[in-house]
Chains A and B, each alone.
Chain A
Amino acid sequence: MKSRLTPSANRDLARFGDLLSVGGGAALGLLALAAWTRPGLSDLAPGPLSAAHVAAGVGCSSCHGGARPSSGACQGCHGGAAERSSTRTGHRAAMAQGQLLCADCHSAHGGSESVTFAGDGLFTRSGDGASRTSTLPHASPPGAVPLVPASVCVRCHSFSAATDPALRCVSDPRGDLTKQADLCMDEHLTVDSLRGARRLAVWESARAVARSTAWTEVPARGAATAWALLPLGSAALSLALVRVARKRRERAARSAAPVAPAALDKRRLPQIDPSRCLGCYACVDACPFAVLEVQRFVAVVARPADCCGVVACAEVCPNGSLSITGEPLAARQLRLGAGSLESLDAPGVFVAGDVTGVPLIRNAIEHGERVIRAIATARSASSGDALDVLIVGAGPAGLSAALSAKRAGLSFEILEQSTVASSVRSFPRSKIVLDHREGDVANSALWVGETTKELLLLEWQRALRTEGVAVREGFRVANISKKGSFFEIEVANREPPEATFLARNVVLATGRRGTPRRLGAHVADGCDNKVSYSLADARSFAGQRVLVVGLGDAAMEAALALAQQPNTVVTVCHRGDDFSRGKPRNIESMRAALAAGRILAMFSSEVVEISRRDVTLRSAGIDRTLGNDAVLVLIGGEPEGALLKLAGVRFENE
């Protein structure tokens, strides 16, 4: 039983794991970027140091002596307090109280610029971490002028108030203040002071330069964006990694699930200890053939004849009160290796599917995979011109083997005497293929579930098409012979020419319906085609009088399907005097149909003659003739014993 409650299967839980990985990924990404670029203190500064400061070799500690730089830090290079103090009354008062510092106007990081005139007619404009020397000649005495953007003024001043004294320093109060230094230059010296005349000329030139040349753009925005977005990327990466890992884990858990039943080569019966049986129905639900039933709260083996020897019931028993013991039933026993299904008598010949005596489509699929695994493991060298493996039969086992061989990279051919999965195809229309343990083969190339025959065939054909496996239909194997380490397989084609294959290994997946058991009755000349051995489509019999011979599951299902067709008369002919075997569901439906008169049953009778318009049945020595249009013989089939014998596969009791 599959639990939806494990963390990996529950999406809500998985989401919370995802978020943890996102957070961790973002943090790791940030730390990795830090380790890679080794950011210094300057990266944490509000902006890069101005070019003049960089040129003068000023570092962080030159100004930040462990605290916010006071005006004293600037005066070490730029001169005394008296000379550098502002000429404006308000500024001077604020500076005296320590509320206004040099750095408030002349920010060393970002925003402040300077113009330096060398005296040779050229000037240098320096901004944040960059400087540009202009080739445009300019007549100015040598000197340097710091450009203070009007944006620093708004920390104290308001340009929206008409009375603000700072308003006369800017030309465009509503414009970009960070790019304006037009008038606000006469701060530290009055014009009429001694050196005023020369400085006035320098200021005027600097003002012209500030107007005519561009302000420096603060660089390194890209780095900021990278720092902010890299964590996002690394978070996405870790999320993707976590999801991929989860998916891989799930896949591994799924593919680990199929466990080959331990003792497929023995047909034995379950033994139930009634003093310990819980009556929990676990075994009943696990058995595909309804062999077990719970009566009075204890499981009992109700239909031992239907037991297939697959030990699903013992696997699910919660307290071990059901075990598989006892002697093998007298049944066909091929001498095969338990693990590989390779014939013990003819190495290189593998047997898979129904032909081994183990029923169920699910088992056949597992067999096909198992034999190819064994062949691929044992494969030592290239087979040269010969095939690695030749697969006979394109039923579930053969198709599964072919798909596995394709995936394992083996060279192979798959031969089929009629058409792909013809036995499955001959199931009554829409017959439900019951398979209880879907999980076992859900991962396989061939899909089986609670489904109808049509959908099953569609899925298989899709699998063959997408994997590119070509089945050679209409090829019947006539002879298998050993040539050195190879097998030579002669094939009788529907039409000449006949072909011969050379293969290192042969997989016989011929099934058991390959040769249906024939009716012993006398068939009148020209009436062969009214007798069929499988029911392809019940609707084609609508309006006819049909005789169904046999009372196994296939016969009952066919009879029930036929009885549903309009105006169809269905008669069942059975040698026994009552239902002897079959699924309870089928028997129940048959009894209901018999009671309702939708099907007529002839027990203890057999067919003696089939002619054009009727059939003759003999019951207790008395012959009865019924009007009839079609005869459907469903009395089981025999394995392709001849092919097994040709290949050298031997039975246990031979």
Chain B
Amino acid sequence: MTATINPWPVAIFGVSLLRDLDARARREIAAAGSISRFAAGQYVYRASDASDALFVVVDGEVEVRDEGGLVVNRARSLDVLGHDAIVRVSSRRRRSAVCVTAATIARVPADVLARGLGRLGISVASDPRWSAIGRAAIADAIRSAPFAGRLSSFDLGALTGASQIVTVARGRAVYRSGEPATHAYFVAEGAVSPGEGEYVGSGALFGHELALARKARASDATALSSTWLLSIPRDVIESVALRNTGVFSAAVEPKMREPRNAHRLQTARSLLVIDQDACVRCGHCVSSCASAHDDGLPRFTRLGDVVMLPLGAASTPALLASSCHHCERAACVAECPTGAIERQPGGEVTIREDLCTGCGACVKACAWGNVSLVTKAARVVASKCDLCATRAAGPACVAACPVGAASRIDPSQLSEARERHAHEVAAAASASKDRAVVVATLLGSLATFASLTQASARASGAALAASSVVAASYVAVKRARLCFALKPAYRLHLVMGAVTLAAAAGHLRPRLAPGLNGALAIAVAGTLVTGAAGWAAFATIPRALTRIEPDVATGDDDAERSVIARSLLAALTGQSLALKTCFRDGLHRYAVAPLGWLALVLSRRTIAQERARIHAAAVASPGDIAGAAQGPLTELVRHSVSLRAMPARRALGGLLSAWLPVHVAFAVACSLLALLHVITELVYR
């Protein structure tokens, strides 16, 4: 469908919207855009598609239809379609465009166009030439607001007429505390934190309560992403509120905690979530990601925020791994100066490496740090998750999880994901059913092999060899470059491990043979015992580990320790003597108490519960710290608990992974010795 014609036909740039562009902008648009051939009846875009490009019809005829299917516009040669994309007030198409005849259509990325115009001093938000598009977009946005249904067309018209488009970059203030509240704001696109710990997303009105009350702002409002707002003057909102009592109070969105994560659940379209209670921290997801790509570099790290998500029946601690979220309105797409990052029709956000200059704008634009610069063929380019576009079976990270803890979910359809995941959880019900299968296999095969041993040592030996070869084939599955789904293979490995254990119990003599056969017996026993230990560790440790892990996994204990040490120093600087004494005699001793970490693990308290407990104890302790220093005390408690939990995390993490090298070493010794044993037995018996 897509064919890149370079340079583009000059006629395309003769259309009114593109006429002003200089040669450089035209070159950039031609590089980042595309010219495609559409068949008659094919959709150019559909309603609710992402709205991030304009289309210029080169030849053919296209109809634009509204939600009801009515034809509202016809576009023929050198007409422009979807020009509302240039005003970023909505990220979704409200209409659809379908080809009447076969048509050739040029796609012009809106962000690249905005840059080209911006360099010429033409601002999309305020230039009069765009005002008609802007007005239409504002009207659409106001009509789509939750309070719009209760307003008359007169009031809607008043709001539309008075609204102005305001753009705010990520991290910049919409307003600051202490300023007079002269406007209310409607979030057309993006997200804002109107106060500490609060979050409002697209379609929400904020800042109107104080405007109506004619008071000064009580807090700073900060844009969480590049945000397009409609500012509505106070007198307009007042008059509308007078005519429609209570209309705006109903429009207030429930305020969410943790604006950062609330925002990402709102904007992300494909989140890699890892169920921390099931995750065995093996890192297969990352290594499979590395091997699924030609350059051998992974696209993410198994680090990030841990949030409670309704994945299973109950809320589950889930790690939002630092893998690209494929945001609906991706900041990296908007910030890329060459249009190298684009959103595919299927929703995945991908990087075109031929256009990437390695400037790092996307790296800084991504609020979650999910884009990285890497060096490929002596060229620095941006790199991020591409949802394994070249892999037919879908993302490798999900397929490679041996315990099925990793999944990719679209948070806008969390309930659906929940059902799917719940289904998976039920099918696995999960670990407990696996455990039952393994134990049943073990008992069954023990009985079988006990009788087999009576018959012949050779038969039990053959069974032992066969089961261990099947179990060991797991290594081949794991190392395969194009990873198979690892979960069934891992289950087979467990079951065959149980069979092998039974076969070994039948084949091995209680008395240790001398020489290499004795060595083989030790190696077999070692492999099986470490395997069983690993199985037990996988079944029990993740939950304990999740309890004591902080909300943010940074993955570097040494760095974290020094960060904690510095934060403690910073929190103590300039505080009262009472607080310092409280820290020295109480919190610090608590934090570094030998075996304190063990007590923490055994108490089965979560980090949050432990913090609350220690905070209460510190406040109750003698010394006047309660009133004076709540803030610093909370900081001190937080860091002290983290410090105490650190050795526990290290110990549990070690238990979770330490058995594996031993298992592997024994297994390798086992396979070599078994080979010798089988050969001599076949030759000399």
Contact = CB atoms under 8 A, between A and B. Distances in A.
A54 interface: no
Nearest to A42: B515
A7 B360 contact: no
Interface string A12-37: 11011011001101110010000000
A66 interface: yes
B441 interface: no
Contacts of B298: 5, 10, 12-13
A46 B512 CA distance: 10
Interface string A224-256: 111111011001100100000000000000000
Chain B interface residue count: which class?
35 or more
B507 interface: no
B364 A7 contact: no
Nearest to B121: A296
B669 A232 contact: yes
Contacts of B684: 60, 64, 67-68
Given A10-B286, A13-B283, A235-B661, A5 B383 contact: yes
Given A10-B298, A232-B665, A224 B516 contact: yes
Contacts of A223: 514-515, 518-519
B192 to A, nearest CB: 21
Interface residues of A, number: 75
Contacts of A66: 683
B662 interface: yes
Given A11-B283, A12-B301, A458-B569, A229 B522 contact: yes
A246 B357 CA distance: 31
Interface in A439-480: 451-452, 454-455, 458
A46 B672 CA distance: 17
Interface string B548-585: 00000001000000000010011001000000000000
A195 interface: no
Given A5-B298, A10-B301, A596-B178, A232 B118 contact: no
Contacts of A39: 515-516
Nearest to A151: B511
A208 interface: no
B361 A280 contact: yes
A224 B519 contact: yes
A637 interface: no
B119 interface: yes
B569 A225 contact: no
Interface string B139-156: 000000000000000000
A36 to B, nearest CB: 14
A318 interface: yes
Contacts of B518: 220-221, 223-225, 227-228
A211 B557 CA distance: 64
A90 B24 CA distance: 103
A138 B261 CA distance: 92
A1 interface: yes
A48 interface: yes
Interface string B519-530: 111110010000
A227 B516 contact: yes
A226 B518 CA distance: 10
A278 interface: yes
Given A44-B515, A68-B685, A231-B665, A12 B570 contact: no
A44 B661 contact: no
A47 B514 CA distance: 6
Given A22-B664, A231-B666, A279-B115, A44 B677 contact: yes
Given A13-B287, A297-B115, A232 B662 contact: yes
A5 B372 contact: yes
A6 interface: yes
A16 B357 contact: no
B226 to A, nearest CB: 13
Interface in B283-331: 283, 285-287, 290, 296-303, 322
B283 A15 contact: yes
Contact of B522 (A15, A47, A220, A228): A228
B373 A1 contact: yes
A10 B677 CA distance: 40
A398 interface: no
Given A26-B669, A282-B361, A318-B358, A3 B373 contact: yes
Interface string A36-58: 00010111111110000000000
B668 A23 contact: yes
A275 interface: yes
A68 B24 CA distance: 86
A614 interface: no
A27 B668 contact: yes
A219 interface: yes
A30 to B, nearest CB: 5
B299 A280 contact: no
B676 A221 contact: no
Interface string B342-364: 00000000000000011111011
Interface string A376-389: 00000000000000
A11 B555 contact: yes
Considering residues B118, B667, B684, which has the most beta carbons from chain A within 10 angstroms of its beta carbon?
A: B684
B517 interface: yes
Contact of B286 (A13, A30, A281): A13
A572 to B, nearest CB: 21
B200 to A, nearest CB: 25
B673 interface: yes
A224 B513 contact: yes
A214 B520 CA distance: 28
A12 B373 contact: no
A39 B515 CA distance: 9
Nearest to A276: B24
B337 interface: yes
Closest 6 CB pairs of A and B: A224-B518, A12-B283, A227-B519, A228-B522, A280-B359, A235-B665
26 contacts: A3-B372, A5-B372, A12-B298, A12-B301, A13-B286, A19-B660, A19-B664, A22-B661, A26-B666, A27-B669, A44-B680, A46-B513, A47-B515, A67-B683, A223-B519, A224-B513, A228-B526, A228-B669, A231-B666, A274-B119, A278-B359, A280-B360, A296-B120, A451-B566, A455-B566, A596-B178
Interface of B: 24, 115, 118-121, 178, 282-283, 285-287, 290, 296-303, 322, 335, 337-338, 357-361, 363-364, 372-374, 380, 383, 511-523, 526, 555, 566, 569-570, 573, 657, 660-662, 664-669, 672-673, 676-677, 680, 683-685
Given A3-B372, A221-B512, 17 more contacts: A7-B297, A12-B298, A13-B283, A30-B668, A68-B685, A220-B518, A225-B519, A231-B665, A231-B668, A231-B669, A235-B668, A279-B115, A280-B335, A296-B118, A316-B360, A318-B359, A596-B178
